[in-house]
């Protein structure tokens, strides 16, 4: 019959299953000093609508709030560093999530079966696990299919073939458009500074990409194995082409390298069999020994670096 928990006795943790299956519990307010909510503590509290957590809370255990079907908002403590597996699984009416700036470890299934999430707030540095987690939340997508958190595109579920990314975006996260079956042409607007690892990797019909002058980071394998990509112009703000960035782009014929480029990394253009020799800028200092492996039409400059085998940057 428990309906309210308000400022219980102070302690550093709440025990496992302490309030599990309290199906009439509606509100929980926990005291300062609490450091950990143990696994399954509020499991299956189906009527729970409100939780107030102390700012010093560091960890929320596995399945701590799983099955709390009436919960609509979760505001994470600023100092929370761990959100364990299935912490909010099955919270089917959860709509808004705010994650603390110190969150460094989040399980990929923390919010599984939460199908109504519409808004996520978190620190500027989204962990890879969080990125993968929210990429699967279809309810987060805007009208065009973009999943955007903190001005970063983390996923896309649309089917446009000629795609211009929205204004205001600052970066494109790892794998955001990877293996997209519909994308043929993409225009990235000014203001985007970074494209993550494999962001557009293995897009089978991608033929054209327009980069902004604001771009300064192309992640490893960001366009790897896009077999129809024909031409790229890499802005001068990009100082290094990372490992495998355009590896396996079999149709790639022309690459424009601008002044400001310093390094071409391992396998950057490997197996681009149609690629013709680009004009190498005077700023270029290092070309990894396998950066143009499998590119029979490319004549390399005499500026190979002496990097160790397996060189990454």
Quick one: 42 and 165 in the same domain? no
pLDDT at 199 over 60: yes
Which of 96, 120, 140 is where one domain is finished?
140
Paired tokens of 87: 């912490």
Quick one: 64 and 119 in the same domain? yes
The whole-model pTM stands at 0.85
Q: What is the pLDDT of residues 13-69, one digit of tens each?
A: 788 999 999 999 999 998 888 999 999 999 999 999 999 999 889 999 999 999 999
Instruction: Give CA–CA dist 63/86, Å, rounded.
Output: 5
Quick one: 271 and 216 in the same domain? yes
* Residue 202 belongs to domain with CATH number: 3.80.10.10
Q: What is the pLDDT of residues 281-305, one digit of tens each?
A: 999 999 999 999 999 999 987 655 4
Quick one: 181 and 244 in the same domain? yes
Quick one: 46 and 122 in the same domain? yes
Give the residue-averaged pLDDT of 80-103: 91
pLDDT value at residue 101: 82
Paired tokens of 150: 């903190």
pLDDT value at residue 4: 57
Total count of residues recorded for the chain: 313
Quick one: 177 and 230 in the same domain? yes
Quick one: 165 and 103 in the same domain? no
Q: How confident is the model at residue 1 (pLDDT cuts 50, 70, 90)?
A: very low
3-class secondary-structure state, position 135: helix
Q: How confident is the model at residue 134 (pLDDT cuts 50, 70, 90)?
A: confident
Angle, vertex CA 261, rays to CA 260 and CA 262, nearest 5 = 110
**Mean per-residue pLDDT over the chain, rounded:** 90
pLDDT at 161 over 50: yes
Quick one: 186 and 118 in the same domain? no
- Are 161 and 184 contacting, i.e. CB atoms less than 8 angstroms apart? yes
Instruction: Give CA–CA dist 201/219, Å, rounded.
Output: 10
pLDDT at 308 over 90: no
Task: Identify the domain containing residue 262 by its residue range.
Answer: 144-313
């Amino acid at each position: 019959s428990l309906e309210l928990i308000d400022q219980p006795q102070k302690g550093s943790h709440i025990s496992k299953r302490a309030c599990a299956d309290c199906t009439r519990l509606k509100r929980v307010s926990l005291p300062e000093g609490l450091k950990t909510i143990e696994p399954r503590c509020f499991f299956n509290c189906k009527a729970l609508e409100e939780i107030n957590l102390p700012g010093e809370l560091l960890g929320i255990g596995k399945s701590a709030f799983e099955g709390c079907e009436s919960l609509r908002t979760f505001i994470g403590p600023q100092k929370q560093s761990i959100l364990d597996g299935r912490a909010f699984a099955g919270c089917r009416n959860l709509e808004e999530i705010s994650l603390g700036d110190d969150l460094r470890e989040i399980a990929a299934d923390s919010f599984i079966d939460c199908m109504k999430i519409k808004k996520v707030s978190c620190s500027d540095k989204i962990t890879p696990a969080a990125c993968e987690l929210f990429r699967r939340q279809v309810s987060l997508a805007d009208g065009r299919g973009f999943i955007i958190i903190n001005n970063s595109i983390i996923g896309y579920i649309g089917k446009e073939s000629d795609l211009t990314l929205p204004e205001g975006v600052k970066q494109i996260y790892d794998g955001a458009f990877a293996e997209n079956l519909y994308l043929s042409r993409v225009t990235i607007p000014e203001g985007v500074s970074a494209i993550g690892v494999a962001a557009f990797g293995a897009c089978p019909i991608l033929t054209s990409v327009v980069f902004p002058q604001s771009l300064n980071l192309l992640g490893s394998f960001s366009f790897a194995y896009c077999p129809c990509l024909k031409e790229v112009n890499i802005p001068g703000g990009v100082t290094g082409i990372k490992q495998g960035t355009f590896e396996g782009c079999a149709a790639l014929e022309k690459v424009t390298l601008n002044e400001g480029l310093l390094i071409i990394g391992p396998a950057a253009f490997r197996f681009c069999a149609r690629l013709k020799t680009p004009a190498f800028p005077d700023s270029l200092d290092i070309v990894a020994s396998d950066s143009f492996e499998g590119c029979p039409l490319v004549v390399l400059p005499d500026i190979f670096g002496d990097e160790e085998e397996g060189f990454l940057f």
